[in-house]
Amino acid sequence: MIEIKDLHKSFGTQRVLKGVNLKIEEGQVTAVVGRSGGGKSVLLKHIVGLIKPDRGSIFIRGQDITKLSGKRLDEIRSQIGVVFQGGALFDSLTVYDNVAFPLVEKGKLKKEEIHKRVIKALSDVGLQGMEYKYPAELSGGMRKRVALARALISEPKIILFDEPTTGLDPILVRTIHKLIRQAHEQYGFTGLIISHEIPEIFEISDKVAMLHDGKIIEVGTPEEFQKSENPYVKNFIMGLEEQEDRL
């Protein structure tokens, strides 16, 4: 479904991606883990064409999106929802208008239909009654849930989540993960989740991949991933678990 082939990207002299290869299967949820600053967000932004690679290609349903621009690229993008790292909610719009935004901008649905969907999406993420608040008035967890609702509302075939739970307390992490899983069961999108939540992320993903030093060094089901012999993977899993135990 999404196939990333030999992706290279440098910023100035800093080589961030050094040949990433990754297949994201249709209808599955694939998690990408890796240390902070390792280029996970950069990888995600390549998939929606926000960053163009120096070399390599990304096929989405057979089309190399790194070669597309303008209308053709927008067409592909309309099938993709993105939950950005900080939520990326529009500060000048209310929660309601933020969630309605993708539908209003597409201009295909009637007002009443949009209203129904927004109300449902907000209650799905447990935010009924918050419609007329502004993002600045919400807590971090609420903002992430609004961002989730905004990504889900147009029922895209692909959803990319950039650290949807980072900075939240463990209970909220579970809540968000549950929401993602529910949505996935409801209409089976293809998902890519960038995450630091070990071990929680194993529960909601079909595949786990690790980005290290600009490359994917391990991919597998959560069980395979946890049994990996790769020292970096082992360290990463243990390191984070140790940290959690200490907390």
Ligand X SMILES: Nc1ncnc2c1ncn2[C@@H]1O[C@H](COP(=O)(O)OP(=O)(O)O)[C@@H](O)[C@H]1O
Binding site for other proteins (CB under 8 A): 45, 48, 50, 74, 77-78, 80, 82, 84-86, 88-92, 101-102, 105-106
Q: How far apart are CA 59 and CA 65, in angstroms?
A: 6
CB of 2 to other proteins, least distance (A): 15
Instruction: Identify which of residues 105 and 185 has a Cβ nearer to other proteins in the complex.
Output: 105
* 177 contributes a contact to ligand X by CB under 6 A: no
Exposure string for 207-226, b = 16+ CB within 10 A, e = fewer: bbbbbbebebbbbeebeebe
Pairwise CA distance, residues 204 & 130, whole Å:
27
User: Smallest distance from the beta carbon of 39 to ligand X, in angstroms?
Assistant: 4
| Count of CA atoms in the C-beta half-sphere (13 A) of 139 | 8
| Cβ neighbours of residue 2 closer than 8 Å, sequence gap 6 or more | 23, 24, 47, 58, 59, 60, 158, 190, 192
| Chain residues 15-74 in contact with ligand X, contact rule CB under 6 A | 16, 34, 36-42
Considering the rule CB under 6 A, would residue 141 count as an interface residue with ligand X? no
Closest CB 87 distance from other proteins, rounded Å: 8
Q: Pairing state of beta strands 158-162 and 190-194?
A: parallel
Q: Looking at the DSSP assignment, which residues form a beta bridge with residue 212?
A: 215
Three-state SS at 51: coil
Sheet holding 29-33, edge to edge: 80-83, 158-162, 190-194, 29-33, 207-212, 215-220
Q: Which does 38 bind (CB under 5 to 8 A by kind): other proteins, Mg ion, ligand X, none?
A: ligand X
State the binding partner of 141 from ligand X, Mg ion, other proteins, none, CB within 5 to 8 A by kind.
Answer: none
Q: Given the complex with ligand X, which of 39 and 191 has the nearer CB atom?
A: 39
Q: How far is the CB of 147 from ligand X (least distance, A)?
A: 16
> Closer CB to Mg ion, residue 121 or residue 159?
159
C-beta of 98 vs 195, nearer to ligand X: 195
Which C-beta is closer to other proteins: that of 85 or that of 226?
Answer: 85
DSSP state of 37: T
Q: How far is the CB of 106 from other proteins (least distance, A)?
A: 8
Rounded Cα–Cα distance for residues 32 and 22 (Å): 10
CB of residue 140 vs ligand X: minimum separation in angstroms?
Answer: 17
Q: Where along the sequence are the contacts to ligand X (CB under 6 A)?
A: 11, 16, 34, 36-42
